Amino acid sequence: MIRNAETQKIVPYLAMIPGAILLGVAFYMNKQKPSVSTEACGMVERYYRYGKYSRSERVVIRVEPSMKQRHLNFKSHVPRWQQGQRVCFEYYDRYQNPHLGQSIILRALH
């Protein structure tokens, strides 16, 4: 128990100093990670909108050679492909770029 009234007023502010130091060190050490783009080919399966009233649209592509389905967002300048068409594209993979929330197609390759 602190008996001095002046010290009693200062202690809560002094208790915040270690937290502020840790927060400052965390911001200093956290650097922006560069995004790594990947090239892949696959078959277009379908397009769909996610969310009830969303304007965003995704494309489902079965990527070769693993033949796994990938749900990818795409930029507005990327052309739309026909279902069943084989396409090659460059994209940001969310598994290789953990700071991204979703995989995004950047451009078509032909």
The domain segmentation of the chain, as residue ranges, is 37-109
pLDDT of 43 > 90? The answer is yes
pLDDT band at 28; cut points 50, 70, 90: confident
Amino acid 50: pLDDT = 76
The CATH classification number of 37-109 equals 2.40.50.140
Half-sphere exposure at residue 9, Cβ-oriented, CA atoms within 13 angstroms: 2
If DSSP codes are grouped into helix, strand and coil, which group holds residue 110? coil
Amino acid 1: pLDDT = 63
24-28, 46-50, 54-58, range with the lowest pLDDT? 54-58
Predicted confidence (pLDDT) per residue in 58-101, tens digit: 889 998 888 888 888 887 788 888 999 999 999 998 888 888 88
Q: What is the DSSP letter of 65?
A: T
Contact 75, 106 (CB under 8 A): yes
